[in-house]
Structure 1
């Protein structure tokens, strides 16, 4: 998990030179780490290119690596991070290799300073094979897709006994809760948007909720049987290759550890699997165009889908109904996150062009793709099941 610093970050369409948040400075890192009892640290070795927060890696005088992660309080305050840290502690107690946050000298797992919330996490053993890849890119091989699916099943088994309630309103979370409204997912989503005046205003500015509902209604109908009485538990919320560490020779890699729980929430296995497939199995970052230059499709990875689900089956065999649930939830996996991201760009960062891209291309574009031929075929592949691939 080494490498040189990079000033840019990953964004909606690849690597961007402008970052959402300033890099952590050396003086800032020293002050924050001192609060966690780390006073002898090397200069910053690396800055993460991931969006939504700032992350730097440093080492202490004993050669141990530490990741200092800084969040704006509007995204993750002390209470929000504590929700994630409780889940991490539960998983660690059940044998999942995770980075347990360091405590401050006052016993808290979060240090706050002005508008910022800091957490300090130990470096994990293994290679970060996907550090320089975007979240929406395929796995490097079907074998790695298989291992990722297998690891998610192990994760879900460990998380099943965690009894934490669904998170309250938090931005940038893979939240299923608004769609579980007893009046139905459409009313639930509308009520959830209306409850946040800033998000409602941002969505209205970019085109309004009605276009979103029009794109989602076919998917709401398909998902209705699985929203009625879901078996909820906590999930990861952002499962893809760059949130895992890897070890072993090529084509024989195994997953060593899991990290980044910022999008975790109470969900269902099916919805969390759908999020994982949405993150890696459609090449959203490289849209295909017709000869006139118009967007016409996105490439998908049916072989990796088959491998991922076979890996999951290896630990937790999926029933036909569970596969149908995954297929039904896949077109909805990005919805609440995308609505929140519109607010993020429009209101918090004052970047209306990116809010427009999120509204048109991410929220509406992805939902509409699943209503087309390629998207429908992918959903049918998932629902029907596939032979095991190892």
Structure 2
């Protein structure tokens, strides 16, 4: 039995005001308290024993403020690694393995992605006590956007240009990836709903299938909002474009903080592509649209 309990151990992220509370980026510009505890030393020490040749924990050097998992950069006696912990209800072991298969395929096509650390059972994702864990070797480059909230603009136009070039490379490689769509319907990017002839009917069915989503949406006039702002002005043209474009896996969350860079300067190259958690079978059109939205629509400022 692997004991992953943190006990009374207090672990904090950089910049936290309280030693007992872990803050993350929320759906606005202000930090919010995390829904789950930060990774702690006793938990990580036990976990590292489940992986091959990664050494013993020396320190936790940084806690990620990203909201949908608990993640940390850690130093061991063998090097520097990045551990992520997901609630199993949100990301199961198979969900993570689907993502990892895509990452390994891209690595074989010379796309610069992080290497995955296999566990002693041969898998790159571990399911333990209601959590799902994955361990990565550190990617090459600087985490220039580490302190920026996700979905904010590139700090330099040259970074946006490099990001566009890399996304085109990724699409050229992923066109050859023949895996089916993800089995999960949580936190992925695809055209399952708005790629339908009648997206409103598809949305209505989805709300029935996911009652908690329906309860949240029913607090708003979402049917009128979606119909008048999305479906009527844009859907016919968007649907036609999606039918013409090739179907392929996309990254699903393309923005500056999901990459490492050779520097923060104007001559920087995107040196490592990160975080394929939202990746799914979709299209290059949709992936480019998501990339533009992440960098050009300040929707975090709209919250509240």
TM-score interval w.r.t. the shorter chain?
0.7 to 0.9
- The residue number in structure 2 matching 1:135 is 150
Give the drift of 1:191.
Answer: 2.4
CA gap of 1:202–1:4, structure 2 versus 1, over 3 A, is: closer
Distance 1:230 1:180 in 2: 12
Other structure's SS at 1:14 match? coil
Instruction: Verify: 1:282 aligned to 2:297, yes or no.
Output: yes
- More off after superposition, 183-192 vs 162-171: 183-192
Other structure's SS at 2:204 match? helix
CA gap of 1:152–1:226, structure 2 versus 1, over 3 A, is: same
- The residue number in structure 1 matching 2:137 is 122
Distance 1:146 1:5 in 2: 31
Cα distance per residue 1:29-67 (max 9 Å; x no partner) = 1112211133412121110011110001112213x2111
Give the drift of 1:146.
Answer: 0.5
Q: 2:204 aligns with which of 172, 190, 194?
A: 190
Instruction: Verify: 1:60 aligned to 2:76, yes or no.
Output: yes
Other structure's SS at 2:60 match? coil
Distance 1:17 1:179 in 2: 31
Number of equivalenced pairs = 285
- Given that 1:5 and 1:46 are in contact with CA atoms closer than 8 Å, whether structure 2 keeps it comes out as no
Other structure's SS at 2:162 match? helix
Cα RMSD (Å):
2.0
- Given that 1:5 and 1:47 are in contact with CA atoms closer than 8 Å, whether structure 2 keeps it comes out as no
Taking the TM superposition and a 5 Å limit, the aligned residue runs for 1:1-390 are: 4=14, 6=16, 7-37=22-52, 38-62=54-78, 64-181=79-196, 183-217=197-231, 218-248=233-263, 250-286=265-301
- The residue number in structure 2 matching 1:370 is none
Give the drift of 1:207.
Answer: 4.2
Distance 2:244 2:32 in 1: 45
Other structure's SS at 2:86 match? strand
CA gap of 1:160–1:272, structure 2 versus 1, over 3 A, is: same
Other structure's SS at 1:179 match? coil
- The residue number in structure 1 matching 2:4 is none
Structure 1 runs not aligned, ≥5 long: 288-356, 362-390
Other structure's SS at 1:68 match? strand
Distance 2:270 2:295 in 1: 16
- Given that 1:96 and 1:155 are in contact with CA atoms closer than 8 Å, whether structure 2 keeps it comes out as yes
Distance 1:75 1:190 in 2: 22
Distance 1:5 1:39 in 2: 28
Distance 1:233 1:250 in 2: 33
Q: Which has the higher helix share?
A: 1
CA gap of 1:60–1:224, structure 2 versus 1, over 3 A, is: same
**If the length of structure 2 is used for normalisation, what is the TM-score?**
0.87
Distance 1:249 1:276 in 2: 20
Other structure's SS at 1:233 match? strand
Give the drift of 1:160.
Answer: 1.0
Structure 2 runs not aligned, ≥5 long: 1-12, 17-21
CA gap of 1:249–1:116, structure 2 versus 1, over 3 A, is: closer
- Given that 2:247 and 2:281 are in contact with CA atoms closer than 8 Å, whether structure 1 keeps it comes out as yes
Distance 1:154 1:15 in 2: 35
- More off after superposition, 186-195 vs 48-57: 186-195
CA gap of 1:17–1:191, structure 2 versus 1, over 3 A, is: closer
- Given that 1:67 and 1:120 are in contact with CA atoms closer than 8 Å, whether structure 2 keeps it comes out as yes
CA gap of 1:46–1:40, structure 2 versus 1, over 3 A, is: same
